[in-house]
Structures are given as C-alpha cells and as structure tokens.
Chain A
Amino acid sequence: MATALRPLSRISRGWRPRVLEHLATLLLWLVFATPVAIGVLGTVLPAFGILPELGGSSLSLQPWRQLFNVPGLPEAVLLSLTTGLGTTAISFLIVIAFSAHWHGTRWFGRLRRLLSPLLSVPHVAIAIGFAFLIAPSGWIYRVLAALGLAAGLPPDLSTVQDRHGLALILGLILKEVPFLLLMMLVALGQVRVGESLTIARALGHSRSAAWQAIVLPQLYPQLRLPIYAVLAYSASVVDVALILGPTTPPSLAVLVWRGFHDPDLNQIFWASAGACLQLLIALFAILLWRLGELVASASGRRRIVAGWPGRPSRIAASAAFAGAALVVAAAMAGLAATLLWSFTKSWTIGSAMPEALTLATWMQQLPVALKALTATAVIGISSAMAALLLTIALLEEERRESLKARQRHYWLLYAPLLLPQIGFLFGIETLLVRSDLDGTWSGLVWTHFLFVLPYVYLSLSEPWRALDPRYERTARCLGRGPLAVLVTLKLPLLVRPILVALALGFAVSVGQYLPTLFAGAGRFQTLTTEAVALAAGGDRRVVGVYTALQMFLPALGFALALGLTRRRFQRSEAGV
C-alpha cells in the first residue's frame, strides 16, 4: 500500500515550476550565506599567505609568525576573552535576576518601557554617552565638584580606556542588557510562566527559587542563541572598543583592525591571521559558556533533588532591581550628556550644568553632517527594504514548506550572528574588489544587508507565524491565489510588525561601523563612522551633535512605524 503513497507536494503543486518555489532559499544562499562563507574563506586564505593581489601565491605560516611577534598580543587575546565573557555574564545575570524577582510586577513593566527605546540606539552612541559620563572630566565628576565633593582639576585617572577594559565591559553592558531583556520577553511570551510559577510556589518554593528551577530551564533554550551572539559580539567588538577600550595594547579585534587599516598593505597578512584567531577566540568563549551551562544545569538538578525551596531574599531582589535600574540610568544619563554637550556654549568644571547654551554648534555642524546623514539614511533604508523583501519571501516559502524550511533558514540566518565581524569582513571586501563593487553604493548597501537581514527576519518571523493560518486557508478557498492572499490579506494584517521589522533593520544599519569602512573603500562616511572618528579627542560639542543625530535617526524610524499603524488588529496579531 505504501507504494501508492505520493508526496502531496507533487499533487497540489504540479502547476508551479519547482525552482520558483525555492526562489527565496536560493536567493538566501546566493546573496547571503555563500558570500558570508566566501568572506570567512577570504580571511582564512591570506592568513596562510594566499592573496594573489598582494603577491601571496603560496601556502605559508609566515602571517602567523608575524602575528605572534606583534607586541601585546597575549594581553590583547586575554582582553578579548575577559570582555566577551565579562560582558555576557554580567548582562545575563542582571537580566535573569531582574526577571526572576520582578517579572509580573508593575516595576518590571516600568523598567522594561524605559529599556526598550535603548534598543534602537546604536552601540557607538551609548558608548560615547557613557564616556561623557565617566571620563575624568565627565558629568559625574562635574556633579561631584559642584556638590563640593571634589575639587580642583579632574583626577589623573584612566576611567575611560583603562588597561583592564572595565569601562569597555560596562559600556557594552548598557547595550546588551536591553537586548537580552527583549529576548527574554520574547521567550516569556512562549512559556506559560504564570501557571508554572503558581504550581511551584504552591509546592512551597520561593518566587526566585521557583524561577530558577522551573522557569529559567524552559526559557534558556530560546535565549541560548542570543547569548552566544552577545558573547561573540562583545569578544570582538571594534567600534565601542575604540571609544572605551584600552589602547596599548588594545583588544585583539582592534589590533587586527589596525593591521587591516595600515597603509602598508603587507600588514594584511598577519591581520588576517589575527582575524582567524579572533574567530577561534569567539568559538572558544562560546565553548566555555556552554561548559558553564552544563555545570549550572547539573547543580540545579542536584539542588532540586536535594530539596532547596529557597528563601525570599529582600537583598537579592533589591540588588537585582538596582542592577537593572543602574543600566537604565547610566545609559539615559549618558545620552542626555551628549545632547547637553551639543547645545553647550561653556561648561566649566565646578558646575553641574553648562553655564551657557547655544545653537551655534548645531548650525555649524548640520551642513557638514548632512552628507553623512544622507548616506546613513540611504544605506539604512535600502538595506532594510532589501532585507524585508527577502524575509517576506522566506516566510512565505516556509508556510508552504513547513518545518524543514524553517530550520534550514534558522541556521543559515543565525550562524553568521555568531561570527565576529572582523572575522569575515576582509574576505567580503576582497569579494567586492574582485567584482568591482568596492566603494560603490550597491556594494555598501549589500554589505549592510548581510548584517541587517538576520534581525529583520528575527523580528518578523514570530508575528508572521502567529497569524492564524485559517485566514489564508479561508481566502484560498474563496478563490484567491497565493500572491493575492499575500497582498490583500497578510500584508495589511501584518503591517505593524512589518514596519517595526523595517525600522529595526534600519536601526541596525545605522549602527554599523566596520562594514561601512571595509566595503566603502574610504569613500563613504556615515554618522557612526564620523562619530567614532570624532570621539577620539574631538570637541565634545561636535561629538554631541553626531551622537544626537545617531540617536535620532533610528528613533524616527520606530516612531514612524508605530505612529503610522494604529493598534487595530490585535486579535489577529495574537493569532490562535
């Protein structure tokens, strides 16, 4: 009998060419997955001496020897590891502790509403704000001085760019806590937390203990990938490290970036080896974290078996709240400081606020910044639109192809998030050079698209899948084809999440630093590249203007997305 069975696909879809059905996946391979793979390859090969353009034609270990002779390499490697693991561990701890003690209370909602706007702010803006806050002559010192708690010239302390990368870790935490909290909220939406908690507490466990033992294990699988992404990112970040990180030696990614950036092109060989090392370090950090997961889960189980109901701890709850509140306060105050500086005329040490405000800096800088502003907007809108179109095509394909396609897309899209940017951008640049696309708008937009696509997909896939599939079935049975159903039914019903995904993609693009530099061949300045360049020793007023613009652009995107769509179809968004 089994021989009589035919796959249904052949029955119901014989009228449609098969290539078309997989067009989205094909495109994903062509414009996303393969280029990323080529990018990695194009970084690995020069690390072993192969780069014909620079006369490297035979395999050699010379680049690695050069790399190991670079002064400060061991410290750089160590810094990358401590930054990555430190940032991730502290951020994760804050998010977990805050959720465990405060989820379901009014305060959780309040702080969450304060944290979510921070998501749209580029890393660089947060980092600059933080530097404005904690620098020896930063806002904190000025307030202290105004209160009479400090006097005279700012202390000769390296509060920013300290040797151990503490400022770097703290600055990264300000951005990663909101991100992980959002991921936590997404996960919370899919687990029946309330009921699990009620049952556990009825069995005599304290709230936070129940959270740890019952809720967290259910949430963690969904948090794993975002956590790994944070780990890989913070272990290899360049832009934030240029602002807050140590300089001699810097962390590995910055060291490698200097090598790639060096006017002497032969430095590219050891820099490529360094990029490979960076890939390995990110992988190593993830492995370490995975090990930690196993230990934690084993000890958790032991505790459950041994019986550990936990005690409600006021101190722990307060500490958790303080941690999250500090993150919000520091990030907000930093951003306020940059805004304030952009309007400052004079601000002498000893007063908490500027003595005189002026519009002069804005009037002066806006015409200059206009070019970078336009470039940022054009690149952001184009890459986000391209990512949105491909995402919709992928999600439509999944609807027909079901689970298998979904898993395929998931790995193809998210694996690149675990790769340090510096680990494959040089290969992308080489690819662009070879196809005559480097330093062109299309090359630049496409490079940004590589980083925008995973986030657009991440943002849109949940609401897309949550749409009750029976709407589509009903419309099909009313005689409408798949394309008509997409245009007349799904796009209008999902307009809000679609615009939000677009705004998120735009925000991601605005925040990019390395991709612009690698693909732009030095011909393009965006707000982010300008802000980083100016941050090193620039006038705080001017830096303030660029940071404010950097904040403003993504926020405008989200405001438009949310403002244009009223909350009308909540029932359908929630799905069944």
Chain B
Amino acid sequence: MSSGLVLDAATLGLPGRPPLFRELSLRTGPGEIVTLIGRSGSGKSSLLAYLTGTLDPIFIASGQIRVDGRDVSQLPPERRRIGILFQDDLLFPHLTVGENLAYALPASVSGRRQRRERIAAALAEGQLTGFEDRDPSTLSGGQRARVAVLRALLAEPKALLLDEPFARLDQALRSQFRTFVFEHARAQALPMLMVSHDPADAVAAEGPVVELAPFADAAAASSTAAPRSFNR
C-alpha cells in the first residue's frame, strides 16, 4: 500500500443540503505539503475535522481516510495518529510547558528519565532549553507557537494537518516559524495538509495546491464537480 495520507472519495455535507464537496480525493506523500485553499464556507475546516475524526456529528460523511495504507476512517481521533496545529497555540493553560509536552509523549516512551530527556531534547530543538517548568502564559507568542509544534510532533503522528497555523503571527515571525514547522515535519517525513489564505505559505510549501470550490459554483461549472487541482 502507498505511504502518506490519502483521502479517498470523500463526500461531506449537512442533511438536507447539497454536500460541501463530493468525491474529493487527495494524496500527500511523506514530507510533502498539499495546500488547501478556498473561500470561507467551502468546507476546509470541516474537511480537517473529518480527517481528525472530530467532525460535528450532525454532518453526513462518506469516504475513506488512509494513513500509510491503514484505513483509519472508523477509528476515534486518538487512534488515527493524525496531528493538528491550529491558528492558536492552544497550550493547555493549567499545565507547565514540560507537562504540555509530556501530555503528548506516547506512553510507550517509558521511564521517568527517558521521558524527561525526550522533552528536554524537544525543547532544545525549539531553542527553549530549560523551559520545562514555565507557565505557558509567561512565554512570547513565538515561543508558544514553537511549543505547540513540538507538542504535536512528540505524539509521533503519521500525518500533520495545519489549520492556518501562521495566520496569527506577524510578518517577521511568520516565515521563520513556517520554516521551523516545515523543517521539523519534513525531518520526520510527515505528509502534511495545510489550509491557508496566504499565497506565501503555498509557495513555501512547494507542493500541490488544491482549491475547494463551493459546491454550488462547482456544480454550475461541471456536473462531476471535481476539485480543481494544479501544480505550481
């Protein structure tokens, strides 16, 4: 079976309304970044929620999600091994930086010392050595964003979803942080799917761009309503 994150013939919608998209198929290989663009309301966020398994149950969905060839469509979110980064860092405010990272570290990494070392190593990668006991609220925006990435990666995901993770950062931080995310995810050969409104993100991703057209528009254009896909 093929490696990477595969979405096969996904159809998603609310009951009684035309689907957001129909028979959408996507593939993103190890280290590859597919950029998903589209107007608001076109279903980008719903698609990500569908992939992680946290879609609101009122949605009706069909299709298959495969991670490294394994069908995860039936699995609960915690067993899919698909990581996600949001616009906000969403560090758990009641836990220290170190505890936030420990929260992500799989139980298979056992032994107090080994776990502590893994966390220290992760922090070092983010130039945050010694930040274990810090309260997340005392960190700068850029530092928090890096912790969020490290946390997502420590969970050893097989694929990573990015829901406009750079939108909240100012220009200077933005490209720097983007490089940080891409480099670290590529180092783990993670397939990535990124939702973004910023053309610069898509350029930096150096991967295919998929536009999710609102179904009504697409239906007018063609009856099959396949998403337009093109390479840059």
Contact = CB atoms under 8 A, between A and B. Distances in A.
A378 to B, nearest CB: 31
A396 interface: no
A6 B75 CA distance: 15
Interface in B93-113: 93-94, 103-104, 106
The residue among A6, A7, A12, A481 with the most chain B CB atoms within 10 A of its own CB is A12
B61 to A, nearest CB: 5
Interface string B43-65: 00000011011111111111000
Given A5-B13, A479-B81, A481-B76, A474 B86 contact: yes
B94 A479 contact: no
A492 interface: yes
Contact of A478 (B57, B73, B75, B151): B151
A478 B155 contact: yes
B92 interface: yes
A262 interface: no
B27 interface: no
Contacts of B57: 7-9, 400-402
Nearest to B56: A402
A11 interface: yes
Interface in A456-495: 468, 470-482, 488-489, 492-493
Interface in B66-82: 73-82
Contact of A488 (B60, B103, B137): B103
A4 B62 contact: yes
Q: Chain A's interface: helix, strand, loop or mixed, by majority? A: helix
Interface in B123-161: 137, 151-152, 155, 157
A412 to B, nearest CB: 20
Contacts of A473: 49, 52, 54, 77, 84
B93 A569 contact: yes
A130 B78 CA distance: 58
A480 B103 contact: yes
A492 B103 contact: no
B83 interface: yes
Contacts of A481: 76, 78
Nearest to B72: A12
A4 B11 contact: yes
A474 B157 CA distance: 12
A492 B94 contact: yes
Contacts of A572: 93-94
A493 B58 contact: no
A15 interface: yes
Contact of A475 (B53, B75, B82, B103): B103
A8 B55 contact: yes
B90 interface: yes
A477 B55 CA distance: 13
Interface residues of A, number: 40
B22 A1 contact: yes
A470 B55 CA distance: 12
A479 B103 CA distance: 9
Contacts of A400: 57
Nearest to A8: B61
Given A6-B61, A11-B73, A476-B78, A568 B22 contact: no
B164 interface: no
A554 to B, nearest CB: 28
Given A13-B76, A468-B90, A477 B82 contact: yes
B211 interface: no
A479 B11 contact: no
A486 to B, nearest CB: 13
A568 B79 CA distance: 32
B213 to A, nearest CB: 17
Contacts of B8: none
Interface in A10-62: 11-15
Contacts of B50: 8
A149 interface: no
A576 B88 CA distance: 10
Contacts of B55: 8, 12
Contact of A7 (B60, B78, B80): B60
A403 interface: yes
A477 B155 contact: yes
Contact of A479 (B53, B60, B90, B104): B104
Contact of A402 (B58, B74, B94): B58
A484 to B, nearest CB: 8
9 contacts: A11-B61, A11-B74, A12-B53, A473-B52, A476-B77, A477-B83, A477-B157, A478-B155, A482-B76
Given A1-B19, A470-B86, 20 more contacts: A1-B11, A5-B13, A5-B61, A7-B57, A8-B59, A8-B61, A11-B61, A12-B55, A15-B75, A401-B57, A473-B77, A476-B52, A476-B54, A476-B76, A476-B78, A477-B83, A479-B81, A479-B106, A480-B78, A572-B93
Interface of A: 1, 4-9, 11-15, 400-404, 468, 470-482, 488-489, 492-493, 568-569, 571-572, 576
Give 4 nearest A-B pairs by CB, closest first. A476-B77, A478-B104, A478-B155, A5-B60
